[in-house]
Amino acid sequence: MAREAELIGAPELPALDIEAERPERRRRPLDGRSLMLTTFTILLLALFLSPLLRTLTLSLKSADQITTIGAPIWPADPGSFEWEGDTLDVYLVPLPDGTTRELALVDPGRQESGFIDPADPGAGILTWQGSWRSLEQPWEFAPKWGNFAEVWTRINFPRLMFNTIALAVIGGLGTIISCTLVAYGFARFRFPGRNLLFLLVLSTIFLPAAVTLIPTYTIFVNLGWVGTWLPLLVPAFFANAYDVFLLRQYFMTLPRELDDAAKIDGAGPFRILLSIIVPQAWPVIIAVAIFHLVYSWNLYFEPLLYLSTSPELQPISLGLSKFNDIYGSEPQYIQAATLMTIVIPIVVFFFAQKAFMRGIVITGVDK
């Protein structure tokens, strides 16, 4: 009681202002080395993205914009003006007072030409001394968004995209399921010859595809699978060495104490995989899914080999190749089709990049 009375009668201590005592963060000044490194990184990134930028500009141009001499890099049309039912070209005309104005050419001549002012056509014709061919034209930004709609109809783009997405999704599910099971066996089960068998699986990475091409094709022909999606989808359900290695290395970073705790609760191996391993391995699983998406999206030789007689089942890679052969003289359509093809992989990677980077780093829980 005396102790409580002493505490009750004690004077109140002043409250500490934690925010006031917190040291102020200071930004490090940008020294010359950091500035040089940042500049070099920006230039390297610009150089890396320059082909994509060129593809974008070409896809928005018309045939006249591409072939016109002196046209800018971006999609642009020369300046023009409608006057009395005629389309007049606009030029940058230097005037005697030292200014330069945009005037529409009405009466071209060798020594002198007649122009009108688009801002005030009623002012009459202005005579300018000189050759109009020496004048420069102003350019107006004029993208041709209709190129994408033209591509959409010319190559049956919806059907090709459906085939590609179906092959990527079904094959991706098969790859994730099969590779996860195989990697789980190598990471958690102990059996004789495990390391030797895992080394044998990894050695298939170095096996050239040309070595297995004829035997594999012979098997699929005898099974009657040529002309269907089965040769492209069934192998995905039998795992591959690269994704197995990636998943196995990630699983090994997860502590075995979690498995032992689940076994005490009565969980079996399959339950441990679904309830313990998979929830913590989503980053690497997403990385494997993105790897397969990119691989399936760019797959060309196998669809050409097995689907050459079934155009209705072909993916976008074959459709785009045929489109290039037919419309090679119209690069704006080819570039537009290319951009439309890479939209989905870019969007998927943009939304999954955080988990993708975590999966590549191969990190597990810290215990």
pLDDT in tens, 59-73: 999 888 888 877 888
Judge whether residue 129 has pLDDT over 80: yes
Domain presence at residue 23: no
Q: Are residues 87 and 127 in the same domain?
A: yes
Domain presence at residue 338: yes
Q: What is the CATH number of the domain that holds 172?
A: 1.10.3720.10
Predicted TM-score (pTM) of the model is: 0.76
Mean pLDDT of 74-100: 85
Q: Are residues 284 and 166 in the same domain?
A: yes
Judge whether residue 1 has pLDDT over 50: no
Q: Report the pLDDT value the prediction gives residue 225, as an integer from 0 to 100.
A: 94
Mean pLDDT of 67-87: 84
Task: Convert 30-53 to b/e letters by CB count within 10 Å (16 or more is b).
Answer: eeeeeeeeeeeeeeeeeeeeeeee
Model confidence at 33, pLDDT cuts 50, 70, 90, reads confident
Judge whether residue 2 has pLDDT over 60: no
- End position of a domain, from candidates 112, 137, 162: 137
Q: Are residues 291 and 243 in the same domain?
A: yes
Domain presence at residue 9: no
**Mean pLDDT, the chain, whole residue set:** 84
Q: Which of 245, 232, 168, 233 shows the shortest CA–CA distance to 205?
A: 245
Model confidence at 362, pLDDT cuts 50, 70, 90, reads low
Q: Which of 204, 167, 179, 163 shows the shortest CA–CA distance to 293?
A: 167
Quote the domain boundaries for residue 179.
148-361
Mean pLDDT of 339-362: 77
Judge whether residue 215 has pLDDT over 50: yes
Domain count, the chain: 3
Q: Are residues 166 and 211 in the same domain?
A: yes
Report the side by side order of strands in the sheet with 86-94: 80-83, 86-94, 100-107, 112-116, 126-129
Q: Report the pLDDT value the prediction gives residue 353, as an integer from 0 to 100.
A: 75
Q: Which residue has the tokens 């209709």?
A: 146
Q: Are residues 232 and 291 in the same domain?
A: yes
Q: Are residues 89 and 162 in the same domain?
A: no
C-alpha 360 chain-centroid distance: 18
Domain presence at residue 263: yes
Q: Report the pLDDT value the prediction gives residue 118, as an integer from 0 to 100.
A: 87
Q: How far apart are CA 309 and CA 298, in angstroms?
A: 20
pLDDT in tens, 279-313: 988 888 988 999 999 899 999 999 999 998 898 99
Q: Are residues 234 and 280 in the same domain?
A: yes
Domain presence at residue 288: yes
Select the more confidently predicted residue: 30 or 152: 152
Angle at 353 between CA 45 and CA 244, to 5 degrees: 115
Q: Are residues 88 and 66 in the same domain?
A: no
Domain presence at residue 29: no
Q: Are residues 177 and 92 in the same domain?
A: no
Q: Which residue has the tokens 């500035």?
A: 35
Domain presence at residue 22: no
Q: Report the pLDDT value the prediction gives residue 29, as an integer from 0 to 100.
A: 59
DSSP designation for 208: -
**DSSP secondary structure letters along 263-302:** HHTT--HHHHIIIIIHHH-HHHHHHHHHHHHHHHHH--HH
Q: Are residues 271 and 309 in the same domain?
A: yes
Judge whether residue 234 has pLDDT over 60: yes
Residue pair 252/186 in contact (Cβ under 8 Å)? The answer is no
Q: Which of 250, 257, 236 shows the shortest CA–CA distance to 279?
A: 250
Q: Are residues 339 and 295 in the same domain?
A: yes
Q: Are residues 93 and 188 in the same domain?
A: no
Select the more confidently predicted residue: 120 or 22: 120
Q: Which of 293, 289, 295, 321 shows the shortest CA–CA distance to 307?
A: 321
State percent of the chain over pLDDT 90.
30
Domain presence at residue 4: no
